[in-house]
Amino acid sequence: MASFEYNEHSQRVLFGQDSLSKLPSELARLGCSKPLILTTPTKTSYVDTITDLLYGQLAGSFNRVTMHTPTEVTEDALKHCKAVDADCLVSIGGGSAVGLGKALFVRTGLPHITVPTTYSGSEMTPIVGQTEKRVKTTHVDPKAIPAVVIYDVNLTLTLPAKISATSGLNAMAHAVEALYAQDGNPIASMFAIKGIQTLATSLPRIMRNVQDVDARSDALLGAWFCGKCLAGVGVSLHHKLCHVLGGTFNLPHAETHAIILPHALAYLAPSIPNEMKVLAENVPESEGNAVNGLNRLLSKLGITYSLKDLGLKEDDIDVAVTTLLQKPFWSPRPLEADLIHELLRRAWEGKPARMAE
């Protein structure tokens, strides 16, 4: 896929191979010269790469990015940001890095450039999350959408196949839920359908060859489309349940979304027949049933079906159901504790999702 640039009123996107090389010019456009680099402890090589690219002209780095954006980590990052007198933020990595960049933007107002290396789609959304005392909360701040997004396909070529698959399904969940959102609209549905199509076909190609540049490009584009869905409409059962599982039990973000995706859809299916038809038409091998299509996609990608494998304990299921139902939210199908419990038990046991009665 050819490289290109895309501009909206609040965001600029650079897409293509070697697009990270444009970071110096993007910093200059923003009038910034002292970026703070945000990444995870395992990705400090990104800091070295950016340091070389900027000839050492940066404020410093914060390498303690943590999933689910714990408030204590954000506060430590804020102190470091002020101590080094940074004039902008550059997050590089997965959704957790993007999330910390957003959280710091809200607290500082510093321009935020993000370089996604997975398929989370978070870079396209105004959603700011945090976890405090095992409770994950989110709020929407339209200004929190990063000012610049740099999609460098080359940075995804070393992303392991398993992480590629779970990250891609995490993004796909945004699109699936957008189709039946309470505030759904034709524009969000357009992005959703294209995102689902693109990821459902590109992810298996990546599993066959992680160095497939065309498949990687398609997956990044699909994640972009899916992120636009989450930016445009609200969330329901799928995301609310994943927030409980992630925030309360610290389950890994992308893997949890991947496992819950077909289960949440199966629960809601009786109340969204039109959306189920659209999904079945766009998820390969669905044979008229989108839940079966998603089950087959998980199997093809080699993703575990089991929350137990992620560390959830059997006794945690009751806690998760209670926590989920504490704060009412809109759902196309009324939430019944017994049925949600059954949904989670199947996911915990590693059984494929089954259509609700």
Q: What is the CATH number for 205?
A: 1.20.1090.10
The reply to whether 356 falls in a domain is no
Say if residue 199 is in the same domain as residue 276.
yes
What pLDDT score was predicted for residue 295?
95
Say if residue 288 is in the same domain as residue 232.
yes
Say if residue 168 is in the same domain as residue 203.
yes
Say if residue 79 is in the same domain as residue 170.
no
pTM of the model: 0.90
Q: At what angle do helices 290-301 and 273-282 cross, to 10 degrees?
A: 40
Instruction: Dig out the tokens for 111 from the structure.
Output: 């321009």
What pLDDT score was predicted for residue 356?
60
Say if residue 76 is in the same domain as residue 165.
no
Say if residue 36 is in the same domain as residue 135.
yes
Q: How far is CA 347 from CA 56, 95, 135, in A?
A: 48, 23, 21
CA–CA separation, 354 vs 357, rounded Å?
9
Say if residue 98 is in the same domain as residue 178.
no
* Domain count for the chain: 2
What is the residue range of 31's domain?
A: 4-156
Strand order in the sheet with 88-93: 4-7, 12-15, 148-151, 112-116, 88-93, 35-38, 60-62
Helix (H) or strand (E) holding 140, with range, is: strand 135-140
Say if residue 20 is in the same domain as residue 51.
yes
Instruction: Dig out the tokens for 257 from the structure.
Output: 């979304």
Say if residue 10 is in the same domain as residue 34.
yes
In tens digits, the chain (357 residues) has pLDDT values of 778 888 887 899 999 999 999 999 999 999 999 999 999 998 889 999 999 999 999 999 999 999 788 899 999 999 999 999 999 999 999 989 999 999 999 999 999 999 999 998 889 988 888 888 877 787 888 889 999 999 999 999 999 999 999 999 999 999 999 999 999 999 999 999 999 999 999 999 999 999 999 999 999 999 999 999 988 899 999 999 999 999 899 999 899 999 999 999 999 999 999 999 999 999 999 999 999 999 999 999 998 889 999 999 999 999 999 999 998 999 999 999 999 999 999 999 999 998 865
Say if residue 140 is in the same domain as residue 197.
no
Say if residue 184 is in the same domain as residue 308.
yes
What pLDDT score was predicted for residue 357?
56
Q: How far is CA 230 from CA 173, 187, 248, 306, in A?
A: 9, 12, 22, 25
Instruction: Dig out the tokens for 82 from the structure.
Output: 């002020």
Sequence-ordered alpha helix ranges (H) in 13-110: 23-29, 44-53, 71-83, 95-108
Say if residue 151 is in the same domain as residue 215.
no
What pLDDT score was predicted for residue 142?
85
Which phi and psi angles does 134 have, rounded to 5°? 65, 20
